[in-house]
Amino acid sequence: MEGLASLRSVPSFTCRPKRSISGTTALRGNSLSFPSSSSVVRAQQMESKDGPSSIASELQKDELKIKEWEVGMFHNEVAAAQGIKIRRRPPTGPPKHYVGPFEFRLENEGNTPRNILEEIIWHKDTEIARWREKKPLHSLLKDLQKAPPVRDFVGALRAANLRTGLPGLIAEVKKASPSRGVLRENFDPVEIAQAYESGGAACLSVLADEKYFQGSYENMVAIRDAGVQKNMQCPLLCKEFIVDAWQIYYARSKGADAILLIAAVLPDLDIFYMIKICKKLKMATLVEVHNEREMDRVLGIEGVEFIGINNRNLETFEVDTSNTKKLLEGKRGEVIRERDIIVVGESGLFTPDDIAYVQEAGVKAVLVGESIVKQSDPKKGVAQLFGRDISL
Ligand SMILES: O=C(O)c1ccccc1NCC(=O)[C@H](O)[C@H](O)COP(=O)(O)O
């Protein structure tokens, strides 16, 4: 086959991008743009059939796809170097390979997610690419001017902790989850939010992901709007899987006061830049960790003031509250106390003993979903969780 024999030997190089590239910053360093082998082969195929003009447009399209794939590969290299196991895929999916007139994808090229978190992130990358097309950033920035004022999420937690002597509660408005299925059939987000607030919750976490949690941004808007008529004050955490800075602006435009960044998903530089964007928007940034390596990474990122320790392993769903204790022991705990970083214990909290255990470990706030959202009266559920009425 002529094409293959005459292929230029495409130089292979590993460019360590100076900056990460998932929607917050551009790639720097020698991001050479050269047609890869497949687009060279494709151009030669086109030559036999069409004139030069269609070769250029065909090559252009392939170039963009290959470029996106190459940039994605760099992102994965940077992430892997930081111990991040979640791989990222360009929204268009893995590249096609071309051999002569054939194009194909390799089955074993890791084109299937290894766990639910990776599946959620691949879905999110595709979903957000679509949403960005429909609502470009310049248009989103205009929406921000109409957004409701930002409320002090961390301040509300600190005030609640001072008032009750117990960790401030971030009560989660969650209908379903991959690990537990549907938690509450008759799910009225505003009703649940009101019950949480009257039960003494300092803040609310509202699931925005539709596919895996049956959540929505509309729920968050409805709760925010209800706040106006019913004088609800709780600041709102947009519980979403952030993969692109565009989502931060979008969450703010829908009334969010805080967003969540997951260290198991985002490289350090993405977290660094996304925190800067949140600060500009006066939003709080909850940076979530699950193990020592993620905690050490996050403690090394400038600007981190608010850390969540998830007791749930988001890849295996295993829940272990001793994880919170483990990550707050020794030097890590000292650094956190010295910097006055507020820590949230997340997941698997059902009883006053659970609350006492993570508080003893050093958290000043807790994020709780299942144990209160499935109660027929979530307000009572809050009192049962803490062993007393924390609304007073
Ligand atoms: O809960 C899941 O199944 C899940 C799966 C994959 C990614 C995230 C997931 N949950 C998010 C959370 O961590 C919880 O919603 C939150 O911490 C509250 O946990 P819980 O009180 O146990 O409902």
The reported pLDDT for the residue numbered 262 is: 98
The residue extents of the domains of the chain are 2-111, 137-386
Instruction: Give the pLDDT confidence of 234-276 residue by residue, as tens digits.
Output: 999 999 999 999 999 999 999 999 999 999 999 999 999 999 9
Ligand 1 pocket check for 314: Cβ under 6 Å: yes
ipTM of the complex model: 0.98
Q: 106 vs 98, 110, 122, 162, 272, CA distance in Å? A: 11, 9, 18, 57, 35
Are 267 and 82 in contact by the 8 Å Cβ rule? The answer is: yes
CA separation for the pair 75, 66 (Å, rounded): 14
Give the contacts of 325 (CB within 8 A, at least 6 positions apart): 357, 358, 360, 361
Instruction: Give the pLDDT confidence of 351-360 residue by residue, as tens digits.
Output: 999 999 999 9
CA separation for the pair 229, 80 (Å, rounded): 48
CA separation for the pair 213, 208 (Å, rounded): 8
Give the contacts of 12 (CB within 8 A, at least 6 positions apart): none
Computed over its alpha carbons, how large is the radius of gyration of the chain? 24
| Least confident interval from 103-112, 188-197, 280-289 | 103-112
CA separation for the pair 43, 35 (Å, rounded): 10
- Strand pairing category for 97-99 and 102-104: antiparallel
The reported pLDDT for the residue numbered 392 is: 82
Ligand 1 pocket check for 368: Cβ under 6 Å: yes
Instruction: Give the pLDDT confidence of 30-80 residue by residue, as tens digits.
Output: 333 333 334 334 444 444 455 556 666 666 666 666 666 667 778 888 899
Q: Which fold has domain 137-386?
A: TIM Barrel (3.20.20)
* Residue of 114 and 31 predicted with greater confidence: 114
Q: Tell me, what DSSP letter sits at residue 256? A: -
The reported pLDDT for the residue numbered 4 is: 35
Q: For ligand 1, atom 9, which residue shows the shortest CA distance?
A: 314
Ligand 1 pocket check for 311: Cβ under 6 Å: no
Give the contacts of 208 (CB within 8 A, at least 6 positions apart): 215, 216, 217, 219, 220, 238, 239, 240, 251
Band of the pLDDT at 7, cuts 50, 70, 90?
A: very low
| Residue among 289, 312, 320, 355 to mutate when testing ligand 1 (max atoms within 8 A of CB) | 312
Global pTM value: 0.83
CA separation for the pair 117, 312 (Å, rounded): 12
**Which atom of ligand 1 is nearest to 368's Cα?**
21
- How many A from CA of 96 to the centre of ligand 1? 35
For residue 182 the two structure tokens come to 């549907």
Q: Is 343 helix (H, G, I), strand (E, B) or coil?
A: strand
- How many A from CA of 250 to the centre of ligand 1? 22
Ligand 1 pocket check for 193: Cβ under 6 Å: no
